[in-house]
């Protein structure tokens, strides 16, 4: 499996070098530096030299590199590197060069724990935080045999994600349904691709070892005869229940992925999401929906190139959601040619600004209420160049977030908590839709390529 983990900064300085097998030699760091970091041609994340394979990902300003010597599991290697990033972020807030330099001892300690002989072990940040800590404060616990046997018991047990002795005075669970809506619209206005990547994040503050059951307006589930709707009566005591009644339609989920706490066998057999949640915040599930996607914004771009000196824009955006809702932080990025000298903009709402470093006109609308329509008119004046590079016309890009709206139409029907103490719990649910990659292509009237 993995022979070593290396971390470099952008200059190619080796910040961390941890060999797990004897075949990972220090000189490999030089080879990676020369072959990848200082070689602008390398664009692949995997590079095999001789029988040594370097798999790398870039995060912030560091390279994380896995060295393997065998026909390793490439998917696992990359996923592990990404998990390392998650872990770093969870420990240091930001996982960058500075964090690595300031915490290198801890990083070695972590690497020692999460990889043994190159095989990934438990990488769950919450579990690791029980016995690998940033300050020396808690090391007293790890030095105490009884506590540490409890910790290790937990770190390896079937419920490795949850301690058994959790107590709350008030038992609460918060569910956030967050959807990223992706759109690719062609220049002629047809939707080439529209889908939703959703995630359901839960913050559970529940006592003991609660069994949770979670229900969505999933078409497969609702259509099956044994899905008794009586369940939602007893279900949540608050928010979750009200929205359930409002849910008339159902949603087809293309695919779901679950946190390791979810019993996959149960879901596979009768599509019931049942689990013992970790304490605190975790991502319960991710899902994908492609049918009946409600696109929150319609964009009509008109882009005209006038000779080689000017580009005129007229961009209209209409909000497609209910008038009671509103989107916040709507940002429209309108690409301008690379040789833009200056721009002028007029907007019916919000502010527009030219950002020369990104070759963009950025139009910001802090609050965009439903059903309204706003227009931007802009003009980019171009400098004349003897031989200009063709303009690649990157798509117009939108970012936004809308509360209490799901593009897929997904709703939480119930969240039930069973615990042997039989306490009552309060559940809350919140919905949000954000822009994933929301791209709109456009045609320009004159041809974008100069004559050669």
160-179 positions binding another protein, by CB under 8 A? 160
Cα atoms in the 13 Å half-sphere on the side-chain side of 387: 1
Site string for another protein, 405-444 (x = CB under 8 A): --------------------------------x-x-x---
Q: Which two tokens stand for residue 298?
A: 């319609």
Closer by beta carbon to another protein, 156 or else 348: 156
Reference 66, options 28, 100, 121, 12; nearest CA is: 28
Q: Which of 10, 11, 61, 79 binds another protein (CB under 8 A)?
A: 79
| 224 within 8 A of 271, measured Cβ to Cβ | yes
Give residues 330-349 in contact with another protein (rule: CB under 8 A). none
Side-chain-side CA neighbours of 163 within 13 Å: the count stands at 20
Q: Which pair of tokens denotes residue 94?
A: 């930001």
| Distance (Å, whole) CA 348 – CA 375 | 6
Cβ nearer to another protein, comparing 144 with 320 = 144
Q: Distance (Å, rounded) from C-alpha 244 to C-alpha 34?
A: 58
User: Which of residues 8, 63, 80, 400 is near another protein by CB under 8 A?
Assistant: 80
Which residues lie across from 317 on neighbouring strands?
299, 374
Round the CA-based radius of gyration of the chain to a whole number and report it. 26
Q: Which of residues 353-412 bind another protein (CB under 8 A)?
A: 389-392, 394-395, 397
What is the C-alpha to C-alpha distance for residues 46 and 28, in angstroms, rounded to an integer?
A: 15
When binding is defined by CB under 8 A, the residue of 96, 97, 109, 279 that contacts another protein is: 109
Residue 139 or 238: the one with the smaller Cβ distance to another protein is: 139
**What part of residues 36-55 is at the interface with another protein (CB under 8 A)?**
39, 41-53, 55
Number of shown-chain residues binding another protein (CB under 8 A): 117
C-alpha triplet 21, 22, 28: angle, nearest 5°: 90
H or E segment and range at residue 267: helix 264-270
Stretch that binds another protein, among 147-155, 218-226, 347-355, 422-430 (CB under 8 A): 147-155
112 binds another protein (CB under 8 A): yes
Q: Pick the piece of the chain touching another protein (CB under 8 A) from 148-156, 227-235, 367-375, 410-418.
A: 148-156
* Selected binder of another protein within 220, 264, 385, 403 (CB under 8 A): 264
Quote the tokens at residue 285. Answer: 């599930």
From the list 192-200, 212-220, 343-351, 356-364, the region that binds another protein by CB under 8 A is 192-200
Judge contact between 181 and 296, C-beta under 8 A: yes
Q: Map residue 304 onto helix, strand or coil.
A: strand
- The window from 7-15, 295-303, 306-314, 354-362 that contacts another protein (CB under 8 A) reads 7-15
Q: Which residues pair with 69 in a beta bridge?
A: none
**Closest residue by Cα to residue 334 from 297, 380, 286:** 380
Report if residue 15 touches another protein, rule: CB under 8 A: yes
Q: Would you count residue 145 as binding another protein (CB under 8 A)?
A: yes
Residue 74 Cβ, how far from another protein at the closest point, in Å? 5
Find residue 64's DSSP bridge partners: 7, 57
Q: Alpha-carbon distance 389 to 386, whole Å?
A: 10
Shortest spacing between CB 209 and another protein, in angstroms: 15
Nearer CB in complex with another protein: 44/238: 44
Span interacting with another protein, options 88-96, 151-159, 300-308, 321-329, rule CB under 8 A: 151-159
8-state DSSP, 225: T
Q: What's the min distance (Å) between Cβ of 31 and another protein? A: 5
> For another protein, which is the closer residue by CB, 297 or 374?
297
- Taking contact as CB under 8 A, which single stretch among the options 87-95, 103-111, 292-300, 412-420 is the one that binds another protein? 103-111
Q: Which range in 108-116, 207-215, 309-317, 367-375 contacts another protein by CB under 8 A?
A: 108-116
In the complex, minimum distance from the CB of residue 422 to another protein, in angstroms, rounded to a whole number: 26
Sheet of 412-418: strand order equals 273-275, 211-216, 412-418
CB atoms within 10 A of CB 119: 12
């Amino acid at each position: 499996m993995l022979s070593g983990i290396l971390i470099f900064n952008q200059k190619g300085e080796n910040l961390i070098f941890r060999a797990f097998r004897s075949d990972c030699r220090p000189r490999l760091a030089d080879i990676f530096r020369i072959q990848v970091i200082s070689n602008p041609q390398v664009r692949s994340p995997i590079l095999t030299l001789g029988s040594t394979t370097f798999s790398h990902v870039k995060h912030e300003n560091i390279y994380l590199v896995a060295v393997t010597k065998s026909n390793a599991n490439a998917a696992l290697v990359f996923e592990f590197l990404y998990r390392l990033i998650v872990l770093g972020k969870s420990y240091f807030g930001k996982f960058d060069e500075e964090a690595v330099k300031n915490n290198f001892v801890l990083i070695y300690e972590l690497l020692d724990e999460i990889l043994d002989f190159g095989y990934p072990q438990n990488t769950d940040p919450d579990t690791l935080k029980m016995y690998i800590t940033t300050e020396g404060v808690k090391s007293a616990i790890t030095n105490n045999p009884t506590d540490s046997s409890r910790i290790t018991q937990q770190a390896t047990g079937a419920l490795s994600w949850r301690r058994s002795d959790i107590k709350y005075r008030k038992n609460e669970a918060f569910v956030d349904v967050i959807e990223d809506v992706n759109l690719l619209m062609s220049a002629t206005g047809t939707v080439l691709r529209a889908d939703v990547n959703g995630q359901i994040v839960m913050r559970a503050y529940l006592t003991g070892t609660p069994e949770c059951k979670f229900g969505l307006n999933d078409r497969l589930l609702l259509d099956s005869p044994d899905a008794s709707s009586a369940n939602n009566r007893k279900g949540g005591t608050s928010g979750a229940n009200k929205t359930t009644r409002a849910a008339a339609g159902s949603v087809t989920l293309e695919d779901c992925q679950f946190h390791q706490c979810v019993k996959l066998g149960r879901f596979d057999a009768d599509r019931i999401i049942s689990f013992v949640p970790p304490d605190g915040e975790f991502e319960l599930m991710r899902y994908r929906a492609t049918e009946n996607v409600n696109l929150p914004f319609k964009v009509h771009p008109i882009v005209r190139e006038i000779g080689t000196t000017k580009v005129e824009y007229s961009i209209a955006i209409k909000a497609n959601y209910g008038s009671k809702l509103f989107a916040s932080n709507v940002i429209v990025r309108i690409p301008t040619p690379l040789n833009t000298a200056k721009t002028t903009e007029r907007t019916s709402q919000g502010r527009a600004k030219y950002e020369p470093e990104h070759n963009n006109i950025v139009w910001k609308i802090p609050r965009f209420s439903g059903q309204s329509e706003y227009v931007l008119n802009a003009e980019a004046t171009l400098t004349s160049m003897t031989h200009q590079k063709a303009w690649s016309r990157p798509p117009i890009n939108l970012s936004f977030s809308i509360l209490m709206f799901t593009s897929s139409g997904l709703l939480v029907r119930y969240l039930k908590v069973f615990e042997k103490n039989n306490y009552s719990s309060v559940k809350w649910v919140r919905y949000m839709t954000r822009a994933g990659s929301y791209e709109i292509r456009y045609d320009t009237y004159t041809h974008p390529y100069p004559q050669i």
